[in-house]
């Protein structure tokens, strides 16, 4: 815990530049989307208990507060996807990782994010039902810009905050500073070569990240902009999944999304556990907990995909 607090405060105080912020927001966004996914797999699981319970619990998605949280989710997912794509491409084409080009690409990234996020978030708020203050352009704009303003504000405040030049940096913990991270990796490689498992995980993170651009963003886009959250209930899922033509396709889509998003997210959470938890026993407990959570939710999600055959 002390390591986590120290790392968080150094990320905020240390001026590692754009790369540091790009990385810190990428990590926070990935963990945020994972937190949503854990809850989401559980709530979709409840469809197996029949329409009464499931439809009653859907107020979770349809309430005004949750609709604002969905705008945060969109921001996190979009930021993580665009930055993740940059990381993947730069890993395979190292010329893109040069400091100057990386900085310019980061600005392109931010522009792409704003161009997609602003109209999408505005639409999500504007199309709320009237009783939830829908069709209110001013409110929709305030929420949209408000969600953008939070990470921007944090970055600005801490970038302008006076920092002592010789602030002591603990080299044990990852600071979110690109050069520190590289130095740590190089130093650790001197002691141990990257194992085959680590290499496979590294590759899996990139392949799954690339697939998730289509699977996760496609799913979010479909649910919000093609169908609309308002019409979602037990019958909506049943109709899509029992359909003789499209049913198998949507089940296969959900299976791909379940496996890649959950595995990528849990393997990603492992980086934070290993970076911040220095006590060996606590670290092992958390890693085992992460594995058991992955297993339980894979089984729950799989049960829905393979056994949900209601009569419609
Ligand atoms: C707030 C936005 C979202 C809504 C309204 C939503 C809605 C739904 C619905 C209705 C289903 C049932 C299956 C279907 O009809 O296709 C579903 C399944 C699923 N969703 Fe989402 N979803 C959202 C965001 C996400 C995101 C961002 C992810 C991934 C990170 C995700 C991952 C999944 C997975 C893995 C399943 C299958 C679960 C299972 O097998 O039980 N969803 N979602
Ligand atoms: C939408 C497409 C996505 C892309 C392109 C993507 C890409 C990436 C990349 C390249 C990494 C770095 C891996 C490494 O350092 O080895 C990463 C890390 C991570 N991803 Fe994703 N990802 C995506 C979706 C998701 C989703 C849906 C979740 C949550 C379920 C997630 C959670 C994480 C987490 C927690 C990390 C670890 C961050 C860190 O501590 O450095 N990602 N992602």
User: Cα-Cα-Cα-Cα dihedral of 304, 305, 310, 312, to 10°?
Assistant: 130
Domains and CATH numbers, the chain: 2-162+172-307 (1.20.1300)
The owner of tokens 């049943």 is 238
CA distances from 169 to 19, 60, 275 (A): 17, 43, 15
89 three-state secondary structure: helix
| Mean pLDDT, all residues of the chain | 86
The closest residue, in CA terms, to atom 15 on ligand 1 is: 237
For residues 115 and 178, the model is more confident at 115
Judged against a pLDDT cut of 80, whether residue 19 lies above it is answered with: no
Q: How far is the CA of 139 from the centre of ligand 2 (A)?
A: 32
pLDDT-wise least confident of 6-20, 104-118, 292-306: 6-20
Percent of the chain with pLDDT over 90: 60
Q: Please write the tens of the pLDDT for every residue from 243-296.
A: 888 999 999 999 999 999 999 999 999 999 999 998 999 999 999 999 999 999
CB distance 163 to 15 below 8 Å: yes
**96 pLDDT band (50/70/90 cuts)?**
confident
CB distance 16 to 180 below 8 Å: yes
Task: Mention every residue, 6+ apart, whose C-beta is less than 8 A from residue 34.
Answer: 265, 266, 268, 269
Pocket of ligand 2, candidates 205, 213, 218, 260: which has the most ligand atoms within 8 Å of its Cβ, to mutate?
A: 205
CB atoms within 10 A of CB 254: 20
**196 pLDDT band (50/70/90 cuts)?**
confident
Closest CA to 262 of 288, 295, 284: 295
Check residue 52 and give its pLDDT. 93
Q: How far is the CA of 79 from the centre of ligand 2 (A)?
A: 10
CB distance 26 to 84 below 8 Å: yes
Q: How far is the CA of 297 from the centre of ligand 1 (A)?
A: 13
Judged against a pLDDT cut of 80, whether residue 145 lies above it is answered with: yes
Judged against a pLDDT cut of 90, whether residue 210 lies above it is answered with: yes
Judged against a pLDDT cut of 70, whether residue 187 lies above it is answered with: no
């Amino acid at each position: 815990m002390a390591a986590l607090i120290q790392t968080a405060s150094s990320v905020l105080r240390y001026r590692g530049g754009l790369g540091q912020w790009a990385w810190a927001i990428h990590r926070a966004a990935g963990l945020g989307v994972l937190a949503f996914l854990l809850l989401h797999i559980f709530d979709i699981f409840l469809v197996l208990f029949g329409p009464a319970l499931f439809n009653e619990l859907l107020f979770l998605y349809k309430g005004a507060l949750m609709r604002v949280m969905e705008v945060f989710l969109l921001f996190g997912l979009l930021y993580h996807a665009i930055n993740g794509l940059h990381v993947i491409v730069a890993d395979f084409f190292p010329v893109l990782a040069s400091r100057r080009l990386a900085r310019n690409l980061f600005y392109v990234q931010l522009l792409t994010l704003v161009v997609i996020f602003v109209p999408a978030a505005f639409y999500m708020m504007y199309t709320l039902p009237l009783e939830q203050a829908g069709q209110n352009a001013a409110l929709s704009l305030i929420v949209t810009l408000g969600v953008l303003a939070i990470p921007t504000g944090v970055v600005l405040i801490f970038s302008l905050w006076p920092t002592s030049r010789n602030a002591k940096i603990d080299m044990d913990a990852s600071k979110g500073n690109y050069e520190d991270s590289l130095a740590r990796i190089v130093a650790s490689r001197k002691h141990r070569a990257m194992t085959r498992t680590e290499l496979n995980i590294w590759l899996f993170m990139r392949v799954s990240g690339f697939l998730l651009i289509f699977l996760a963003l496609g799913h979010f886009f479909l649910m919000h902009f093609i169908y609309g959250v308002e019409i979602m209930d037990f019958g909506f899922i049943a109709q899509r999944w029992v359909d003789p033509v499209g049913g198998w396709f949507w089940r296969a889509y959900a299976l791909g999304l379940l496996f890649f998003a959950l595995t990528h997210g849990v393997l990603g959470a492992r980086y934070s556990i290993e970076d911040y938890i220095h006590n060996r026993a606590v670290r092992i407990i958390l890693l085992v907990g992460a594995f058991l959570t992955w297993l339980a939710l894979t089984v729950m999600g799989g049960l829905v995909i393979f056994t949900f055959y209601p009569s419609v």
